[in-house]
């Protein structure tokens, strides 16, 4: 993938949809999630000891049928969680692209 060729279409919402708060709220609604997220059945809870008394809890996905194309670490914001809509959607997207991830 050539990152220089990626283009983001101009996004200019109108009216109340211009509000960043409204955009965040709409993006966080559960109806925005895919109906089926098969990666949820193929994850393993892990606790990583990263030293100095710090431990990170997360989930490692596993591809069942194919050799994975890559590995990705997804970090949510400090008030977020692995159950955030954006993390679930992102995880599902990359799982369908045959990429394993830790979130």
**Tell me: the pLDDT tens digits for 9-28?**
888 889 999 998 998 888 77
From first CA to last CA, the distance across the chain in angstroms is 23
| pTM summary value | 0.70
Expressed as residue numbers, the domain containing 60 is 3-102
The Cα–Cα gap between 34 and 32 comes to 7
Q: Poorest-confidence range of 10-19, 26-35, 77-86?
A: 26-35
The Cα–Cα gap between 15 and 60 comes to 41
Structural domains counted in the chain: 1
């Amino acid at each position: 993938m050539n990152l220089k060729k990626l283009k983001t279409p101009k996004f200019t919402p109108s009216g109340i949809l211009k509000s960043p708060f409204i955009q965040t709220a709409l993006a966080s609604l559960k109806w925005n999630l895919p109906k089926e997220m098969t990666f949820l059945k193929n994850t393993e809870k892990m606790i990583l000891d990263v030293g100095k008394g710090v431990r990170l809890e997360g989930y490692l996905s596993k591809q069942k049928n194919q050799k994975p194309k890559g590995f990705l670490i997804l970090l949510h914001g400090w008030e977020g969680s692995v159950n955030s809509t954006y993390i679930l959607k992102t995880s599902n997207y990359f799982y369908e692209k045959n990429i394993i991830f830790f979130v």
